[in-house]
Amino acid sequence: MSIKTASGTAKRPHRRGVYLRVSPPRLAIFGVLLLGSWVAIWLGGRAHGSTSLKRPSVKHAARSVTRPATRPAPWGTLEFTRIDLSPPPDAAERFASVDTGTWYFRDCDPAKLAQTLESIGMPAEQRDRLLKSCSPEPIVNGLIAKPEPSLVRAFSPDVRTALYRILAAEARNPQAEPFRHRFGNDWFAASGLPDEAVLVARRLLYRRGVMEAFVDVGAMSPYLKSEDDRAALFRTLCSQSALLVMLRVWPDSDLDALTSYWGAGGRERQVRPLLESLKRLPEGGSISVAQLMPHFARSRIYTFPQLEGTSANGPQDCHWTTFNFWNLTPNDGFSQAANVGSELATAYHPIEIPRQLGDVVFFLNEKGEGVHSAVYVADDVVFTKNGSNMAAPWIFMHLPDLLTYYEAIGATKTVYFRKNVIEEAKR
């Protein structure tokens, strides 16, 4: 499933570069009845927390990619550059204490788990070792496992991928919010880790959609000989792939259309002077789309959450991010499930497809539960925070890439909503 939207029509010959297209979506239109039933089974929220930020470093940037023109689009002409964000150095100390070696198997007994492990191709010797590490855990009506690091390192890539997909369905497991990296680039090539540590780290990688994922920090401990090694590992793992998105304004661009689109939410006075200044240049100019976002997104894009507590996760997850998009002061109530469901039911309405800045994108699983939410920006770009993990920054992503990642943990439907007051302001 993906969204097919038109890119902007360039008023000049296309710039040199690689041109990309996205596949059309599976259409998912849900009415009020479905909305009500979905709200009733909304995912659990998280605790209240701080909103202070840490600025990351940019690891490297790829060349700009400008999409070909097909038909006029209200957002204009967009240019994309892929970057990798790395968190501030003090993040290493924080993540050194995170427990990744405790696993929960919900609604499971030893016989059922043994059958599941056999079905994913885990060898008998490994099954026995994993089952021996298990004990009953009432809070998940199942089992809790504490596998030996040597066993974790021994899993084959296929077994690890299948096993961790099962574990990802339980929010208590580290596999629910792993470290992630865009597939195709050597994640550890420039890490600065010892060669032996790099080899072990590569064996611990697994696939999650279009991403490579890593979670087994504890299994790496014997190969990290110094504080510098630990810092290098954590900063490498926390590196996140993101998009720099630029808006190209030409001397003959439709200033009224651009102002109407990027000034959604009553912000036309804020964005028009800047767009107008670019239009007046002899050859036009480009501006980061981040500068055109409402205050909440503009102040957070490309940053990581403040490190706090002893858990890898915090209250600032995808839903907290989505429902605070238009807020000048964040409402920490949106870290709670009941508040999210109430806001969606009373302040938003379903739409067929996102076409406007600030539209909401939801991924649902087969039960109708919200797996992830993000905010539509333009073209196929969304503003997103991928989970509550402190290693997850606020970023722009292509929607098809984001969807593929969440399809790997059960997203089967995509639904869209628009805030009522934004709709009314455009009438």
Neighbours of 15 (CB within 10 A): 12
Alpha helices in 324-392 (DSSP H): 337-347
**Is residue 22 in some structural domain?**
no
Q: Could you say which of 238, 267, 302 is where a domain stops?
A: 238
**Is residue 23 in some structural domain?**
no
3-state secondary structure of 246: strand
**Is residue 129 in some structural domain?**
yes
Residues 60 and 104 in one domain: no
pLDDT in tens, the chain (427 residues): 333 333 343 334 333 333 333 333 333 333 333 344 444 434 333 333 333 334 344 443 333 444 444 446 899 999 999 998 887 776 666 565 667 889 999 999 999 999 999 999 999 999 999 999 999 999 999 999 999 999 999 999 999 999 999 998 888 898 887 887 877 778 888 888 999 999 999 999 998 877 889 999 889 989 988 888 888 888 888 777 899 999 999 999 999 999 999 999 999 999 999 999 999 999 999 999 999 999 999 999 999 887 665 455 567 889 999 999 999 999 989 888 788 889 999 999 999 999 999 999 999 988 888 889 999 999 999 999 987 777 788 999 999 988 887 887 778 899 999 999 886 555 5
3-state secondary structure of 313: strand
Look-up: residue for tokens 């909305």?
35
Strands (E), 194-239: 206-208, 211-214
Cβ atoms of 302 and 290 closer than 8 Å = yes
- For residue 345, which of 353, 355, 356, 337 has the smallest C-alpha distance? 337
Distance between CA atoms of residues 187 and 357, nearest Å: 33
Residues 114 and 227 in one domain: yes
Residues 188 and 207 in one domain: yes
Distance between CA atoms of residues 284 and 217, nearest Å: 48
For the full predicted model, state whether its pTM sits above 0.75.
Answer: no
Please report the pLDDT score of residue 27 as a whole number: 32
Instruction: Determine phi and psi for 342, rounding to 5 degrees.
Output: -65, -45
Residues 266 and 409 in one domain: yes
Please report the pLDDT score of residue 181 as a whole number: 80
**Is residue 24 in some structural domain?**
no
Residues 98 and 157 in one domain: yes
**Is residue 114 in some structural domain?**
yes
385 Cβ neighbours under 8 A, 6+ residues apart:
316, 317, 318, 320, 321, 392, 393, 394, 395
Rounded to 5 degrees, what angle do the CA atoms 83, 313, 289 make? Answer: 30
Residues 98 and 74 in one domain: no
Instruction: Determine phi and psi for 365, rounding to 5 degrees.
Output: -90, -175
Distance between CA atoms of residues 62 and 114, nearest Å: 45
Please report the pLDDT score of residue 88 as a whole number: 75
- The DSSP element (H or E) to which 196 belongs, if any, is helix 195-203
Rounded to 5 degrees, what angle do the CA atoms 152, 242, 211 make? Answer: 30
Residues 283 and 350 in one domain: yes
Q: Could you say which of 203, 222, 238 is where a domain stops?
A: 238
**Is residue 20 in some structural domain?**
no
Bridge-based pairing of strands 65-66 and 103-105 is unpaired
Please report the pLDDT score of residue 200 as a whole number: 95
Residues 132 and 197 in one domain: yes
pLDDT single digits (tens) 190-217: 888 999 999 999 999 998 877 889 999 8
Q: Which domain holds residue 186?
A: 93-238
Please report the pLDDT score of residue 51 as a whole number: 32
Please report the pLDDT score of residue 390 as a whole number: 72
Q: Could you say which of 178, 209, 238 is where a domain stops?
A: 238
**Is residue 16 in some structural domain?**
no
Residues 103 and 230 in one domain: yes
| Total number of domains constituting the chain | 2
Residues 364 and 276 in one domain: yes
Residues 109 and 56 in one domain: no
3-state secondary structure of 397: strand
**Is residue 206 in some structural domain?**
yes
Distance between CA atoms of residues 166 and 168, nearest Å: 5
Residues 82 and 49 in one domain: yes
